[in-house]
Structure 1
Amino acid sequence: MHTVLLVEDNELNRDMLSRRLTRKGYRILSAEDGEQGVEIARRERPDLILMDMSLPVLDGWEATRRLKASEETRKIPVIALTAHAMTGDAERAYAAGCDDFDTKPVELERLLGKMQSALSNNLEDG
């Protein structure tokens, strides 16, 4: 069973996505802001991180940069989740260190495909 850290400040989005992913067989850890997400990632070493980009305390861009700068967490794949589906946002996510990018509202089958791809690539790189 893969462990996924969901970093999402919106409680309804966090709860809904957590339930849907749990039903698909994932173990879910959750954080409400980027700082909490970085702490949990360092402590728990999840297999994958779903990172909202618009977060309080520490935004997802900076949280991802910190995770990718740290030896202990740099290999954990990060998928950016954002409502900012604007031109340049995907590039900005990749520049921050994200391994993939998806828009909200989340389309579960599309997100699951990206998650499987990131997890498979990480196993190959590992």
Structure 2
Amino acid sequence: MIPVAYAAFALPNFGSVRGSETVLVVEDEAMVCELAVEALMDEGYRVLSAADAEEAEDILARERVDLLFTDIDLARNTNGLSLARRARRLRPNLPVIYTSGGRGSLSQADAVAESIFVPKPYRPSQLIALANGLLRRFPHYA
């Protein structure tokens, strides 16, 4: 298994990204979702959330989303891997960050290109650093 870009615990400080970027957080564990949403909002992002892939797809169909942060195993037998592939069909350059508490890595075959995986538990500061870095690398692609 070849891991996709893996978020290590010692991340560079990318600093804050200015603007009106929107992050979609897809997480079925309410407390984990709340922590991620709060951290991203504190950084100045507009944040939308969904508990499963179906709800996330509805949001993607009607909202501009600049970054997808998704758990892999979601409610209602949906998953973040399929969600990211469908999201990339709508927005080919959409930055994606995956997370999971049940995996230590993610193969390139499973993940969309140029995505990042961060295992749970992650620190809010890790999520912020990854989001800032990806949004600097892929600024407003649409």
Query: Same fold per TM (> 0.5)?
Result: yes
Larger RCO, structure (CA 8 Å, separation 6 or more): 2
Matched residue of 2:139: which SS?
helix
Q: Which residue of 1 aligns with 2:28?
A: 9
Aligned mates of 1:34, 1:10 — CA distance in 2: 13
Matched residue of 2:69: which SS?
strand
- Structure 1 residue corresponding to 2:84, chosen from 64, 73, 79: 64
Which 5+ residue runs of structure 1 have no aligned equivalent? none
Q: Which residue of 2 aligns with 1:34?
A: 53
Q: Which one has the largest radius of gyration? A: 2
State the Cα distance separating 1:19 from its structure 2 match: 1.5
Asked if 1:46 corresponds to 2:61, the answer is no
Asked if 1:95 corresponds to 2:110, the answer is yes
State the Cα distance separating 1:124 from its structure 2 match: 8.3
TM-score after normalising by structure 2: 0.75
Q: Which residue of 1 aligns with 2:128?
A: 112
TM-score after normalising by structure 1: 0.84
Number of aligned positions between the proteins: 121
The answer as to whether partners of 2:40 and 2:47 remain within 8 angstroms in 1 is: yes
The answer as to whether partners of 2:39 and 2:128 remain within 8 angstroms in 1 is: no
Aligned mates of 2:91, 2:61 — CA distance in 1: 6
Matching of residues 16-31 of structure 1 within 5 Å: 16-31=35-50
- Please, what is the CA RMSD of the aligned residues? 2.0
